[in-house]
Chain A
Amino acid sequence: MHTTNLNVSINKLSKIEGHADLDIKIRDGKVEDVSLRVMENKRFFNQAVKGKPYANIPQLVSRICGTCSIAHLTACIEAVEKTLKIRPSAQTMILRKLTMYSLMIRDHALHLYYFVLPDIFGVDSVLDLVDTKKELVHQSLHVKEAGNNLSNLIAGRAVHAPFEAVGGFSRVPDKTKFSEMIEELKSIRGYILELAEILYQCDWVLKRKTDFVAIVTPDFSFLEGHICSTSGACINEEDYWDHLHNVVLPYSQASGFEFEGHPYVVGALARLNLNKDNLHPDTKRDMKKYLDVFPSDNIYHNNLAQAIEIMHSIDHSIEILSVADFKEEKLAEPETITGEGVGVIEAPRGTLYYWLGINEGKVRYANLVIPTAQNLISMREDVRDAAVKILACENNDSGHEGGADKACEEKIRKEVEKIIRAYDPCMSCASHFLRVNWV
């Protein structure tokens, strides 16, 4: 029998957010160890937030992650507002939805066009598609630019958005630009249908019987609702922490989480599995074929789910901008300057939880649960399972002495990179779980 001893090491995974290394140790044909190491150096946010005035905290934590800075900003603002009993206006909530939609369009488009499509077309990079798939590359740039322009219009910028603040928005968006924005959003709808078709046709399958968890929002706006799971749990946002169990991952600068004692998955796939009925009517009309795929336990359907969420973000934004009449408003004021509170939103990669303690206007502690930390355990299991499966095939395929190991290693490497990208991890975020400080 062919016995395999292999160390599959990937130093610096590419086409993901941030830095991670992966090592798979195989002894006598068996997968002995899988370690996914988050290689982000710490910036010590849990210490940095302490003692800072509450109004400055959202912009500080925005710097946790350049990719999903708007998600951190928005979740932290919600936590500050809940803590200090600040009641944002209806207009503020609408502007926040638009801000989140601009993030979803940009961020999902980056993942799908830049990280996933190269794997589908069997090339290293989107740059390799500039000549062969010219039209698609043009489309990717237009889609991202539309999201970028929506961020600029509503929140001032796509990265570290300057207008979003505790209690409201510091500027009212320029109404004269709305009709142009609506036209631009309409112009990319067709591109998203083409993108969805490619992802729908993609025959990759990676089934995982797991629990999916997401906030079920009544208008699929990523902001407010109950946190629900496919296993039937439905809990209030502020109680989320009580249902989580922190698992420290060895050799890593991050920790993983379990929900009610078992691994779970958050993100676009979870949201589609739990809440597809609340998508925008235009999205439901034009993407029916793709929506019928859900609920799904195929992890690769996270990609299709992201494309559907881009369409929803476009459609709801068009509707809001078509009827909006935004007025100058003062920022809502706090009723108290001491307390503790929780803010939870759906970031592009899943449920993002902020728990803040504030004393006399200064932050005492912050505790975060970020999406990638919640998916880490499942991701690691899927990597292990894939390696086991490939090994089983290779072991049956006798007679390839010598060259077989090399081929096997390459196969495992390709497959696990694909899996990791499907989970769309964000390593910048993953290194910044904050330890609870029970003061």
Chain B
Amino acid sequence: MANKKKRVGIFSFTCDEGCSIYLIEIFNTKLLAWLEKIELAYFLSVKDKTEIKNFDISLVEGVISTAKDKAEIEKIRAASKVLIAMGSCAVTGQPSGQRNLFNTAQAAEIEDQLKSYDYLPKCLSIKEAVKIDDEVLGCPIDEKKFIEVFEKYLI
């Protein structure tokens, strides 16, 4: 085959995974056409874990809330030609980074838990954590906008 299929990875960090669930709804009408052009190389909702390497396009949802996750997103960034921040959390840090907006009393309540589970002092959006190439806003992602952005990279 002349055109090699694009290797696509879909990754979830701290969030409700609403964007990838909504993406699966977008699949209802798009999956079979997209599979002509892409290989879904990493998507834990659909298949077993595979190695993080050589992604043409990575779609990332959620916020980064621990040092471990920060290292993970850096690894994904390094392994991806194009990285698209998927949804409001990934682009703006909210709503999943809601603890960043807590008042003093709320912050005091979660202080011990943050320490014992090795959380970062503030949640980072994907856009803050690494360089992104594109973004799709929405909670969950806007369907039309997602298709428009994603298909740009399938040509």
Contact = CB atoms under 8 A, between A and B. Distances in A.
Contact of A127 (B13, B35, B102, B140): B35
Given A67-B17, A106-B25, A125 B140 contact: no
Given A66-B18, A66-B140, 10 more contacts: A15-B48, A17-B17, A41-B65, A47-B109, A47-B110, A65-B16, A66-B22, A130-B32, A130-B35, A144-B28
A127 B20 contact: no
Nearest to B28: A145
- Which 5 residue pairs across A and B have the least CB separation, nearest first? A66-B18, A125-B47, A145-B28, A41-B14, A66-B16
A48 B99 contact: yes
A312 interface: no
Interface residues of A, number: 43
Interface in B102-116: 102, 106, 109-110, 113
Given A63-B96, A127-B40, A145-B29, A158 B48 contact: no
Interface string A135-149: 001100110110010
A167 interface: no
A41 B66 contact: yes
A253 interface: yes
A48 B102 CA distance: 7
Q: Interface size for chain B: under 10, 10 to 19, 20 to 34, or 35 or more residues?
A: 35 or more
A67 B140 CA distance: 11
B8 to A, nearest CB: 11
A158 B25 contact: yes
A146 B15 CA distance: 26
A42 interface: yes
Contacts of B29: 141, 145
Contacts of A65: 16-18
A138 B31 CA distance: 10
B2 interface: no
A14 B49 contact: yes
B154 interface: no
A141 B98 contact: no
Interface string B9-37: 00011111111111011011101100100
A141 B28 contact: yes
A334 B22 CA distance: 33
Contacts of A138: 32
A350 interface: no
B90 to A, nearest CB: 13
B153 interface: no
B19 to A, nearest CB: 7
Interface string B110-144: 10010001010000000000000000000110000
Given A42-B113, A144-B25, A253-B117, A124 B47 contact: yes
A66 B20 CA distance: 8
Contacts of B22: 66, 158-159
Contact of A63 (B25, B46, B95): B95
Given A40-B14, A64-B16, A127 B98 contact: no
A63 B16 contact: yes
Interface string A30-71: 000000000011111001101000000000100111110100
Nearest to A66: B18
B45 to A, nearest CB: 7
Contacts of B21: 66-67, 110, 159
A160 B139 contact: yes
B47 A44 contact: no
Contacts of B95: 60, 63
A18 interface: yes
A158 B19 CA distance: 11
B47 A127 contact: yes
A293 to B, nearest CB: 29
Contacts of A27: none
Nearest to A138: B32
Interface string A391-418: 0000000000000000000000000000
Interface string A329-346: 000000000000000000
A11 interface: yes
A12 B68 CA distance: 14
Interface in A346-384: none
A428 to B, nearest CB: 5
A47 B106 contact: yes
A43 B65 CA distance: 9
28 contacts: A12-B49, A14-B45, A41-B13, A41-B66, A42-B119, A43-B14, A43-B96, A43-B98, A44-B102, A48-B99, A48-B102, A48-B106, A64-B16, A66-B15, A66-B17, A66-B21, A69-B16, A69-B18, A110-B21, A114-B45, A127-B40, A141-B28, A141-B32, A142-B28, A148-B28, A159-B22, A159-B25, A159-B140
